[in-house]
């Protein structure tokens, strides 16, 4: 019996709670994407096509997750510079590749008909670099001041390249990096200057967007059909885009900010569903629900809500599963965050601890962005719901994040078991989180030798 248990544990590496949450999110994803893809079904006349494609992509993501889970954490350090360089070059190439949905975000893979989004890979690369810099430059009094400078210039480059095409992703990544620096004990004075600079930059950026951007009458089409007038408007939009060069997204940003800031309560019969289809049908989906919802597959707003299977899938979840389902989905992401923090607290070294904290923050912060947009607490961002929304690159990359968390959790658990089996009196070891506060954490994957006296 003991041998069978040992065998099953070897097959299922990593933290059991993370595994359970991941499987539940994948099951929710398959059901809700199948339900929310009615628009795609009408366009392609293929009932099963969208969900089969999504399930296959999830399967590919699971393969990548399992592969990542079996990589020792020390090798992630070796990958970091190559990931930074590769994602940097890919982001540059994006500016010379055809656009999708008014943005240069995708690079086609020749001969496959597939495409990938470099910004998704860049997010992970920046988090890995941040974790590596913070862990390598730890001192007894916190992080060396030069660490902030290295991280700052890396972020300046990548956030600029990402932000020109996907402002919300750049904001999300910036928030995660700042949280990692705070957890990694970057001097408060440097963080204070950063917050002040960011506040000024945000005010300046919003002012510039509102001044230099033009009003964009972008009717969010519900029907796949396009009239001659719509076609003419689209050509005009393309010409305007070309004339503005790298700042062609200004009009889109202004439109979204303006709609959010000028939003006011109006009677239902006066709401312009043609011009604000996403917000309008998202509100309808949520308002028509109840405590337990209409049941999976019974959504009505999905037939009219643009991007119901991606950016606004949380609204469909609320409509079909009610307050209970909405709460459960939120709870699953919270579990990932707190469980990852517990795993990080067991790590002896700072790099794996900060790495998995960064990846969990990416997942949870993006989920928060998506939910806030769906319920009307934030302007439309285009951020999908991690591990649930229909997606290609994002689904696979999110699975890789989970794989890294499982890899680190397995290593931390293995070290705990080794310490338990040691019958000799052992000195109390410090964890990575304690090391950030008390002593200089050892860099690399070599066990830290510093000890503290038991109280």
All structural domains of the chain with their residue ranges: 46-272+344-410+428-438
* pLDDT bucket at 424, cuts 50 / 70 / 90: very low
- What is residue 453's predicted lDDT score, i.e. its pLDDT? 37
pTM recorded for the entire structure: 0.80
Three-state DSSP at 139 gives strand
Query: What does the buried/exposed string (b/e) look like for 87-114 if buried means 16 or more CB atoms within 10 Å of the residue's CB?
Result: bbebbeebeeeeeeebbbbbbeeeeeee
> Per mean pLDDT, which range of 120-134, 230-244, 325-339 is the poorest?
230-244
Q: What percentage of the chain has pLDDT greater than the value 70?
A: 70
Mean pLDDT of 254-269: 66
* pLDDT bucket at 302, cuts 50 / 70 / 90: confident
CA 256 to chain centre: 20
> Per mean pLDDT, which range of 28-42, 234-248, 348-362 is the poorest?
234-248
> Per mean pLDDT, which range of 331-340, 423-432, 446-455 is the poorest?
446-455
- What is residue 211's predicted lDDT score, i.e. its pLDDT? 66
**pLDDT exceeds 80 at position 441:** no
**pLDDT exceeds 60 at position 10:** no
**pLDDT exceeds 50 at position 189:** yes
Each residue's pLDDT tens digit, 315-324: 999 999 999 9
Q: How many CB atoms lie within 10 A of CB 295?
A: 12
- What is residue 311's predicted lDDT score, i.e. its pLDDT? 84
**pLDDT exceeds 50 at position 290:** yes
Each residue's pLDDT tens digit, 112-141: 666 778 888 999 999 999 999 999 888 877
- What is residue 249's predicted lDDT score, i.e. its pLDDT? 66
Mean pLDDT of 434-451: 45
Average pLDDT of the chain? 77
**pLDDT exceeds 80 at position 427:** no
Mean pLDDT of 386-404: 90
Listed ranges 81-90, 277-286, 412-421; the one with the highest mean pLDDT:
81-90
CA-CA-CA-CA torsion for 130, 136, 138, 139, nearest 10 degrees? -150
Distances (CA, A) of 320 to 293, 306, 325, 393: 5, 17, 8, 27
Distances (CA, A) of 20 to 25, 344, 359, 387, 444: 9, 18, 18, 13, 30
Tokens 């000028």 -> residue: 262
- Within 13 A of 26's CA, how many CA atoms are on the CB side? 21
* pLDDT bucket at 185, cuts 50 / 70 / 90: confident
Tokens 């540059």 -> residue: 92
**pLDDT exceeds 60 at position 224:** no
**pLDDT exceeds 80 at position 9:** no
Token couple for 143 = 């992080």
- What is residue 268's predicted lDDT score, i.e. its pLDDT? 65
Mean pLDDT of 224-246: 43
* pLDDT bucket at 212, cuts 50 / 70 / 90: low
Distance CA 310, CA 366 (A): 13
* pLDDT bucket at 241, cuts 50 / 70 / 90: very low
> Per mean pLDDT, which range of 86-90, 135-139, 437-441 is the poorest?
437-441
């Amino acid at each position: 019996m003991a041998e069978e248990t040992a065998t099953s544990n070897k097959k299922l590496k990593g933290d059991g709670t993370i595994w359970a949450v991941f499987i539940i999110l994948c099951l929710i994803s398959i059901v809700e994407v199948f339900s929310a893809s009615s628009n795609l079904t009408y366009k392609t006349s293929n009932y099963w096509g969208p969900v089969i494609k999504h399930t296959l992509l999830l399967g590919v993501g699971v393969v990548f997750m399992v592969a990542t889970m079996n990589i020792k954490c020390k090798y992630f350090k070796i990958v970091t510079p190559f990931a930074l360089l590769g994602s940097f070059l890919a982001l540059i190439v994006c500016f010379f590749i055809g656009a999708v949905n008014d943005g240069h975000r995708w690079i086609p893979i020749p001969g496959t008909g597939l495409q990938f989004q470099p910004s998704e890979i860049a997010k992970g690369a920046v988090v890995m670099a941040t974790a590596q810099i913070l862990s390598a430059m730890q001192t007894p009094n916190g992080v060396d001041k030069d660490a902030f400078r290295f991280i700052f210039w890396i972020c300046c480059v990548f956030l600029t390249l990402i932000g020109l095409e996907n402002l919300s992703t750049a904001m999300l990544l910036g928030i995660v990096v700042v949280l990692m620096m705070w957890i990694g004990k970057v001097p408060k004075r440097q963080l204070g200057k950063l917050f002040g600079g960011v506040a000024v930059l945000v005010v300046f950026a919003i002012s510039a967007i509102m001044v230099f951007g033009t009003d964009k009458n972008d009717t969010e089409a519900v029907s796949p059909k396009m009239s001659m007038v719509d076609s003419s408007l689209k050509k005009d939009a393309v010409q305007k885009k070309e004339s503005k060069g790298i700042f062609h997204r200004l009009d889109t940003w202004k439109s979204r900010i303006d709609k959010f800031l000028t939003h006011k309560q109006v009677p239902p019969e006066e709401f312009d569903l043609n011009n604000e289809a996403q917000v309008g049908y998202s509100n309808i989906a949520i308002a028509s629900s109840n405590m337990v919802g209409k049941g999976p597959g019974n959504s009505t707003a999905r037939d009219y809500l643009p991007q119901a299977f991606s950016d606004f899938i949380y609204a469909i979840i609320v409509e079909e599963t009610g307050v209970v389902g909405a709460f459960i989905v939120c709870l699953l992401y919270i579990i990932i965050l707190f469980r990852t923090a517990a795993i990080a607290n067991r790590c002896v070294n700072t790099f794996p601890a900060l790495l998995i904290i960064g990846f969990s923050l990416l997942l949870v912060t993006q989920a928060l962005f998506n939910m806030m947009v769906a319920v009307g607490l934030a302007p439309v961002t285009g951020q999908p719901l991690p591990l649930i929304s229909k997606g290609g690159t994002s689904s696979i990359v999110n699975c890789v994040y989970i794989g890294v968390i499982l890899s680190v959790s397995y290593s931390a658990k293995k070290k705990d078991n080794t310490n338990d089996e040691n019958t000799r009196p052992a000195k109390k070891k410090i964890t990575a989180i304690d090391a950030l506060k008390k002593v200089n954490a050892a860099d690399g994957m070599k066990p830290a030798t510093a000890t503290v006296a038991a109280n």
